[in-house]
């Protein structure tokens, strides 16, 4: 019974993202705990963004995470210089066991630092 209750509790977080204000930090990525996207998937997306030159705009690259089997594509917009660093809006798709969903946010790299994904929000609950 306990196993059933625990597995049902995990399913309660699947579906439409809620307006949670309790973020968790995973390396250089901050996401909502109700999001349901595996933190290692966000890390795979972060590495993809980090591999795109700041001069490249409106560029779409695939990303994948062999650990989870998740994949998608990430599109970056024009990079802007801000507070001594570089920031650029991005949009991404996440295809995992729950389906395909779209997210957007901003990727920023402080001077001499690593890229961070911030302000991530669901654009819709599900594409497929």
Asked if residue 6 belongs to a domain, the reply is no
The residue range of the domain holding 84 is 22-124
> Has residue 39 been placed in a domain?
yes
**pTM of the prediction?**
0.69
Residue 32 lies in a domain: yes
Q: Is residue 11 in some structural domain?
A: no
| Structure confidence by residue, pLDDT tens digits, 42-51 | 999 999 999 9
Number of domains composing the chain: 1
Establish if 7 belongs to a structural domain.
no
Q: Per-residue confidence of the chain (128 residues) as pLDDT tens digits?
A: 444 443 333 333 333 233 333 344 444 555 443 368 899 999 999 999 999 988 888 899 999 999 999 999 999 999 999 888 999 999 999 999 888 999 999 999 998 899 999 999 988 655 44
End-to-end CA distance of the chain: give it in Å, rounded. 32
| 9 found inside a domain | no
Q: Classify residue 55: in a domain, yes or no.
A: yes
For residue 96, being part of any structural domain is answered with: yes
3-class secondary-structure state, position 41: helix
| Residue in 125, 82, 128, 126 with CA at minimum distance from that of residue 106 | 82
């Amino acid at each position: 019974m306990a196993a059933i209750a625990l597995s049902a509790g995990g399913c309660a977080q699947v579906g439409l993202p809620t307006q949670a204000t309790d973020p968790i930090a995973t390396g250089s990525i901050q996401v909502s705990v109700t999001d349901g996207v595996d933190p290692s998937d966000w890390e795979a997306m972060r590495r993809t963004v980090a591999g795109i030159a700041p001069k490249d705009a409106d560029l779409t690259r695939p990303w994948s995470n062999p650990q989870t089997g998740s994949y998608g594509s990430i599109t970056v917009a024009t990079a802007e210089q801000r507070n001594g660093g570089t920031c650029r809006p991005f949009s991404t798709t996440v295809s995992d066991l729950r389906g395909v969903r779209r997210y957007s946010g901003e990727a920023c790299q402080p001077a001499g630092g690593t890229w961070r994904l911030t302000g991530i929000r669901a654009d819709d609950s599900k594409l497929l």
